Amino acid sequence: MLQSALSFSHTLLSNAVKPGDRVIDATMGNGHDTLFLAQLVGDSGHVDAFDIQKQALTSTNGLLEKNQIAKNTYTLHQASHDTIAKTVPASEPISAAIFNLGYLPGGDKTVITHKDSSLNAIKQCLDLLFPHGLVIVVLYYGHEGGVEEKNAILQFASQLDQHQFNVMTYQFINQVQAPPICLAFEKRK
């Protein structure tokens, strides 16, 4: 069966991330991606995860503890994802970053990400990538302002220098509910 965009984003992360890597969850939300990344990098790696909502940190911390993830494997930041460059030292490059942009699925559609801070955060993660590292963006856009954010990010992505990055989209094109798009940036060298 064809994978959903969300499931495909995890397949891509599994291929890009290995034990000991440093990685970023730019949109912590309910913490599922933070847990997934923590399991990929293992005790010798590190996940920095970001969310502006205190509730996200509480939920994520609970999920990580429940799954017995070692405390030194992760740092949860109550901060916007566009503060990543201030937080993660450029001397410690990452093999992957994941974004879920739009609203939290199943959550409050009025709490959404915004194109300017999202674009800034994506650029900050691109700057931190190792060669062949991936920045993955799962774009939800079935909400007010969602199409505008999606279009801004796809326009930025389509204009990136092909000698620096490969930019790929994976999406379903015949569905009325605007299912998410999986967008992946691979640093070439």
Q: How far apart are CA 78 and CA 58, in angstroms?
A: 10
Angle at 127 between CA 125 and CA 131, to 5 degrees: 100
Part of the chain binding a copy of itself (CB under 8 A), chosen from 19-27, 89-97, 138-146, 161-169: 161-169
159 binds a copy of itself (CB under 8 A): yes
160 binds a copy of itself (CB under 8 A): yes
Question: Kind of pairing, strands 129-139 and 181-187?
Answer: antiparallel
Shortest reach from residue 18's CB to a copy of itself, in Å: 13
Nearest partner of 35 among 69, 59, 11, judged by Cα: 69
Q: Which of 171, 178, 180, 189 binds a copy of itself (CB under 8 A)?
A: 171
Nearest partner of 137 among 110, 172, 165, 100, judged by Cα: 100
Nearer to a copy of itself, 91 or 174 (CB): 174
Shortest reach from residue 132's CB to a copy of itself, in Å: 6
CB 120 within 8 A of CB 156: no
Contact set with a copy of itself (CB under 8 A): 1-2, 12, 132, 134, 154, 157-162, 165-176, 184, 186
